[in-house]
Structure 1
């Protein structure tokens, strides 16, 4: 599709100065293989090498957690508690929408559904460039609302120090264990299990390219939340939108990383031109301009659409993680769009609210995955299972007759015989293979 670009991305999937996917894959393979062979010894070696971190124990004791909590400013604790209250409220509403049920589909034939929580979850909370406290809320707290009995939290040291506020967030969210451990070695330890870290059944949480590749490698051996890529933001705007707000919000997401795409789709050439100008101006005073500026330069785009119909069609083609709607009637997007991780409707709403405090989950699909999946929610931590019970003999016999015919149409003789047996037992059907087998006893 030939769209009208005022600004088009010039970047590649591999920003300058970063490793190739092959290099990332090789490093991840080395670390995973080491942890499989050596367990804790390999975890400690790679933590020391990559994070300069090798304490007597990666796991924090209750006393250590209490000491760390005492160092966190009271206002930070209060803010964490408020944000977690918001996240909990929304997660509990999601949980309430999921119902166990049982149907009697025929007399004495019962079919049911249960939503069973995963037994153990590993929550990875990144450090690196930023201490992402909010990821503790999104991963640990949501798992606990879903009823997960054991949640292990891993977060890396930052600059050789324990990230106190992140530990506070993990603790207040309900983590059963907290380990100061990061990177591939943390993911591998949780996915494989070592002498000191129990194997989990599922890992959730964002991370860099190495963490993402490690999660991809373990998918199938354990469950994962999403295949995550760089943070994405897309804004759909008409002529009523404020270019200053648009520029501010685009750059707010671009600061996540130098490869974070930020896109404006607008029906107004004036809004498009002014947004482009203001992005350059705002970068002059933004403390994270080195990162946000690189992302906007290489991965920023502005598309001018003919009308709102085209704007929404283009936005659905992008299928981005975060989509903001700055139009006269923002709620129209609920009916006009389907491909997005999360919608943010109107100028009073912003992606940063979703990232940090409003209560919806910020672990969302990227790289077009919004075409086939949503983000992290309580349902990701549940296994929806079914059960069946036939109490009525006559209904069992009639199902047996149906099963016999249906299975033989597919050439499954063994399946058919299971049905035949019930038809013979409960309806008195004469079945040749049964009578022959009974005679041979």
Structure 2
């Protein structure tokens, strides 16, 4: 049976923090709903120290941001965009329209249509996450979304040039500099100067995730992508330096980012604890990563690979990195994860920034029932039907029976009318 060698924050503390977040978000959304642009301006000044005449960047402002980004950075941004677009296009090509004849005279089909407008939120608080613009904006455009709005908070009181450049290169139709819950609420509900969208996507902190949850229904969302999670599955074939590096590399996202080691080697577990403390002495983001590891980090010791699969599926982590002798065993047996990183040659940072799979992934055990962002999240599968008169009679007779059982008299009359009108008239006269 698996043993917990290092526990994370207890459930009651997490629930208490969640209640506080919910109340704050509810108040901000209500304010935007009631006061529109005035509330947006007040909240932006309060949280970001940012209250420009308009939150949308002009073409001239975008060009100015582009000019501030070194060519080396633009080259890497373009490379990452190409990787994401290539994989997204392959995904889009796999989703096709369908039409079949189910019985003679009845044709059913579906069309795959992009949503009309999407807002892509790009976090920019502690870290300006330019890669999130690649993952969301570029994928939406590959899906065929006509209006893609990109939004990000200011950085040190100004638009962050690299984020704006990435949004532009990814194909954003509109770029807004505004942050957090107030930005999502304004885009979902609309204000005097901001046209609402049909869907919100993108990662963020607990407040952003909660805002998406509360706004769902008013608009669609991709998924609830909250604080980053990582799970490293390891056996004694890997060294402690690599495991510790990969845990801290994700713990630095935020002080509430869970990083979990699941291993069959008690020796490795002990060495990782020591190695993490060593790396925290030199890591530039140690203040954040160290607190995340102390409060949310876990180490779980399992008996064998099969038990590691069982525990990993229960955790249902956003990122799962497999550092074992046989990574394919986990590819073939794991079912609950956002994205899987197989072998030491790849890692979560590759997926976060460059390799081509999407980094907007389910957190909070949502990997039990959903995958991450992909072109399919921006697509609606809508159905249609048509029938000949003869087929309408066949369908109508059975439909009438079912309507009668359910007591839907109006539905039944719809079916009966078609049967009456389209049934072939009985032959007149008899045989000679």
Tell me the TM-score normalized by structure 2.
0.95
Alpha-carbon distance in 2 for matches of 1:131, 1:404 = 60
Superposed CA RMSD: 1.7
Does residue 36 of structure 1 match 2:37?
A: no
Does residue 283 of structure 1 match 2:280?
A: yes
Counterpart among 71, 79, 89 of residue 74 in structure 1? 71
1:128 aligns with: 125
Alpha-carbon distance in 2 for matches of 1:74, 1:60 = 22
Q: Which moved more, 1:266-275 or 1:334-343?
A: 266-275
Conserved in 2, the CA contact under 8 Å of 1:11 and 1:298?
no
Alpha-carbon distance in 1 for matches of 2:101, 2:187 = 42
Shift of 1:28: 2.3
SS at match of 2:204: coil
Counterpart among 412, 416, 419 of residue 420 in structure 1? 416
1:377-388 equivalent positions in 2, closer than 5 A: 377-388=374-385
Does residue 9 of structure 1 match 2:5?
A: no
1:25-424 equivalent positions in 2, closer than 5 A: 25-390=22-387, 392-424=388-420
Shift of 1:417: 1.9
Alpha-carbon distance in 2 for matches of 1:196, 1:138 = 27
* Alignment length (residue pairs): 426
Conserved in 2, the CA contact under 8 Å of 1:236 and 1:312?
no
Conserved in 2, the CA contact under 8 Å of 1:423 and 1:429?
no
Q: 1:331 to 1:13 in 2, by over 3 A?
A: farther
Alpha-carbon distance in 2 for matches of 1:329, 1:252 = 23
Shift of 1:209: 2.2
Conserved in 2, the CA contact under 8 Å of 1:237 and 1:265?
yes
Q: Mark the runs of 5 or more structure 1 residues left unpaired by the alignment.
A: 431-441
Which of structure 1's runs of 4+ aligned residues deviate more than 6 A? none
Alpha-carbon distance in 2 for matches of 1:27, 1:56 = 26
Q: Mark the runs of 5 or more structure 2 residues left unpaired by the alignment.
A: 427-432
Alpha-carbon distance in 2 for matches of 1:150, 1:296 = 40
Shift of 1:429: 7.9
Shift of 1:19: 8.6
Q: Which moved more, 1:174-183 or 1:235-244?
A: 235-244
Alpha-carbon distance in 2 for matches of 1:171, 1:54 = 22
